[in-house]
Amino acid sequence: MSYKIMATLFLLAFFIFSIEFVIAKRMDCCVSDGTYKVERIPGSKVGLGEGPYWDIPSQSLYYVDIYGGTLCRYDSKEHKVYKCKIENETLSSFMIPVEGQSNQFLVGCDRHVNIVEWNGVSETCKVKKTLTKVEQSLSENRFNDAKCDPWGRLFGGTMRHTGDIYNYRDGFFYKYDKGNMEIIFSDIGISNGLTWDKERKLFYYIDSLKYNCLVYDYDSATGTIVKSSERVFAKNIKQEGDQTLLPDGMTITDCGQILISVYNGGKLLHYNRQGKLVKEFCLPAKLTTSVAFGGENLDEMYVTSKADDSEEGGYLFRITGSGLKGLPMSNCKL
């Protein structure tokens, strides 16, 4: 084959790749390793995205903008994002639908757990009721990640949110059940990801400042985390070159495998049931915060992120083609 023909074929291949890349960018898609696709959801950018929750009836992904005091809903049918500012609130750390109550959500606001009423469309909403308050003497703390176990009990924790947050362990981890707020763990740095393996009766938990993921035996009848059973599930999620990584939010697949979002790493870590790292899913935003499964078949992954000086930071991303499936998320049973 002559040099001219080879050069022409090379230029043609480069041209085709360039066209595909431009089209992908216009569709808010990111080039991946070929086995999965990452899509940036238009209109989803926030300051600090967290707490993704897939609502099956509405086929919507709920999430929050923590420092905006804002609730968000991505409608997958309309391919549109709705945002709602909570009146008289500056912080919103999580939102979970209340079982049997239309348009009502359990929302972590500062150090309060509130019921907020929102129709998923309006631009403002109000606190309907405050269920409980914590740490009233710790004004520099706030709620962070929270979820309900498969039986509807609320679990979540707090963290310092002013100053050098990486040098404090002033947080707590709580269970809210039948009107009672109980401290489960103290001496918490940044209370973050949590999930349950219902089949194997396990509870997974991340304190980001321990740079690992812990697993505990779980008594589903009482909602008790068996502290004496603590062991490390995934360790040394800390350093990559000169970058300090933080394990953040997480979720579980339908076969008990774990996905952990890595803050400052721009990726998800996929672990099998034995805690072995199977794969990394790379994202265009560096400050990825959490992940949840969604879509009609629960085979899409939605990843939240924090805004930074990049174009991609703060957006919600959807990963398709991963070959993984999740489980329905749990509403709160009050």
Whole-number Å distance between alpha carbons of 203 and 231:
11
Q: Which of 159, 164, 156 is nearest to 181 (CA)?
A: 156
Whole-number Å distance between alpha carbons of 291 and 59:
16
Residues recognised as catalytic? 248
**245 three-class SS:** coil
Whole-number Å distance between alpha carbons of 210 and 236:
9
Whole-number Å distance between alpha carbons of 109 and 94:
8
Strands 70-75 and 60-65: antiparallel
Evaluate whether 62 touches 95 at the Cβ level (below 8 Å): yes
Whole-number Å distance between alpha carbons of 221 and 101:
24
Whole-number Å distance between alpha carbons of 212 and 42:
33
- Match 């009423």 to its residue by tokens: 117
Task: Give the containing element (helix H, strand E) for 248.
Answer: strand 246-252
